């Protein structure tokens, strides 16, 4: 898809501490077909649609809150059963992670081997999430801020593919944007 004719919408994103499952999140988990239909309808809206922006912003925030509390079942709402997660190339080349994790079980494997400030860019058929995550060295205790970025491909409002980057500029370049 050419970036020339695409409306790009940037919106800041923050998460609540602490959080718990919301009513709409519990309903989406209880009635996945209804949630899928809703996602498809929202996914057909243009990126400039205020409804789409509000729904995606909320879904991203709820997903990040679920991630922060390690609620993988809630985190994976809206993901296709065969979705793929590709960790950052550097982590795979270092032998720390597999090149690809597929579906809910694969993602649970990833999380079990690897455990905030977020931003979200909506490109219509893709989302870019940028993060600077404060961490601490296990041995030294030295505080470090690690940058992460995820580029997510969407089909009918649901995630089909996710690529992780350790460099914001590289992720933005992958979707034809500059930092």
**CA dihedral for 4, 39, 162, 75, sign (positive or negative):** positive
Higher-scoring residue by pLDDT: 138, 174: 174
Is the per-residue pLDDT at 125 higher than 50?
yes
pLDDT value of position 174: 94
Domain that holds residue 146: 11-174
**Structural domain total, the chain:** 1
Q: pLDDT tens, 153-173?
A: 999 989 999 999 999 999 999
User: Would you say residue 69 lies in a domain?
Assistant: yes
User: Would you say residue 36 lies in a domain?
Assistant: yes
User: Would you say residue 92 lies in a domain?
Assistant: yes
User: Would you say residue 30 lies in a domain?
Assistant: yes
Higher-scoring residue by pLDDT: 113, 54: 54
Residues 6+ apart with CB under 8 A from 161: 83, 84, 86, 152, 153
Residues 6+ apart with CB under 8 A from 173: none
**CA dihedral for 87, 90, 96, 100, sign (positive or negative):** positive
- The region that residue 169 occupies, defined by phi over 0 for left and psi between -120 and 50 for alpha, beta otherwise, is alpha
Q: What span, in angstroms and rounded, lies between the C-alpha atoms of 57 and 114? A: 25
Q: pLDDT tens, 102-117?
A: 999 998 888 876 654 5
The three-class DSSP label of residue 72 is helix
pLDDT value of position 30: 94
Q: What span, in angstroms and rounded, lies between the C-alpha atoms of 17 and 105? A: 27
What CATH number is associated with residue 126?
Answer: 3.10.450.50
Q: What is the largest CA-CA distance in the chain?
A: 49
User: Would you say residue 5 lies in a domain?
Assistant: no
Rounded to an integer, the average pLDDT of 48-58 is 93
Is the per-residue pLDDT at 34 higher than 50?
yes
Least confident of 21-30, 53-62, 105-114: 105-114
pLDDT value of position 116: 46
How many CB atoms are located within 10 Å of the residue 80 CB? 16
pLDDT value of position 137: 64
Rounded to an integer, the average pLDDT of 88-95 is 75
Q: What span, in angstroms and rounded, lies between the C-alpha atoms of 71 and 142? A: 28
Strands 143-155, 79-86: pairing kind: unpaired
User: Would you say residue 23 lies in a domain?
Assistant: yes
Contact 153, 84 (CB under 8 A): no
Is the per-residue pLDDT at 13 higher than 50?
yes
């Amino acid at each position: 898809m050419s970036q020339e004719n695409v409306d790009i919408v940037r919106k800041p994103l923050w998460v609540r501490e602490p959080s718990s499952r919301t009513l709409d999140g519990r309903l989406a988990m209880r009635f996945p077909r209804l949630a899928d239909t809703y996602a498809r309808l929202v996914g057909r809206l243009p990126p400039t649609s205020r409804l789409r922006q509000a729904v995606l912003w909320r879904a991203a925030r709820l997903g990040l809150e679920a991630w922060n509390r390690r609620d993988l079942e809630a985190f994976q709402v809206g993901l296709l059963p065969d979705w793929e997660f590709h960790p950052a190339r550097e982590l795979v080349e270092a032998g720390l992670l597999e090149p690809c994790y597929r579906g809910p079980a694969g993602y649970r494997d990833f999380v079990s081997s690897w455990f905030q400030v977020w931003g979200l860019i909506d490109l219509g058929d893709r989302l870019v999430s940028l993060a600077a995550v404060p961490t601490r060295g296990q041995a030294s205790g030295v505080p470090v801020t690690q940058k992460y970025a995820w580029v997510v491909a969407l089909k009918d409002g649901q995630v089909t593919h996710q690529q992780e980057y350790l460099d914001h500029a590289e992720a933005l370049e992958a979707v034809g944007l500059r930092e």
